[in-house]
Every structure is written in structure tokens, then in C-alpha cells.
Amino acid sequence: MTFTIYDHMILNQQSLSVTVKPAFAAYFKTELDIDVHIHASNVYLFAIPLQGEFTQLSDEQKTFVFQKELSLYEEQYEFEFPYEKTLFDRFFEITWHGVVYHGEIKSL
């Protein structure tokens, strides 16, 4: 069996999608008077730790997702918004898609 470079990149990665909640837009309207238009969800791949598949994001992963999700809006609306741990669950919904194993790659 041969694998393409793309297949190797996603092999044994945990995938999840992040959807922005309506509270996100409401927060920016009330706090910053910015009418943001919510974008579609994004998919992230994280390396599986030695302990195996995980079901919660670490603080480091939450910071990464928060910064990546906000960067689109920061660029579009020209503002900077630092990571606030308390806002993560309020702003984002996580959907877990599990692990991409080698047997599943061809069906993606």
C-alpha cells in the first residue's frame, strides 16, 4: 500500500470542527459595536498524544483555536482581541470527529 504526502499529513490526527456561536456576534455588537458576520466552521487536526484519543482541548489548544478563529475577524474589522479563557466556551462549539487512521484515509 502506498500513501501520498497528503495521506501521511493526516494520518493518526484527531479532527474536530469549531463553529462560532451566536453569542460571539452578540458580544462584539454589545461590547465593541461591531456587526460581525459569522463564518462557517473550520476543521482542525491535532496530533494524538501518547495517552491516545482525547475528548477535551488543552489550554494550549484552546489558545491556538481562539487565536486562529479570531484572526479572521481581526483582519476583517481591524481590531485586536487577546485570548480570554472565560470566553472560549461562550464563543465556540466543538464537534469531535475522532481520529483519522490509515484505513480511513481513502474514504475521506
Per-residue pLDDT tens digits for 17-34: 999 999 999 999 999 899
What SS3 state is found at 99?
strand
pLDDT at res. 11: 63
Decide: 30 and 58 in contact? Cβ < 8 Å.
Answer: no
β-pairing verdict for 42-47 and 13-20: antiparallel
pTM here? 0.77
CA distance 85 to 16: 19
Stated as kind and residue range, the H or E segment containing 64 is helix 59-77
Q: Which residues of the chain have pLDDT under 50?
A: 104-105, 107-108
C-alpha cell at 25: 456576534
CA distance 103 to 93: 28
C-alpha cell at 99: 481520529
User: For the chain, what is the mean pLDDT?
Assistant: 83
pLDDT at res. 79: 87
pLDDT at res. 98: 73
* Residue 98 backbone phi and psi in degrees, to 5: 85, -165
DSSP letter at 91 equals H
pLDDT at res. 51: 79
pLDDT at res. 103: 52
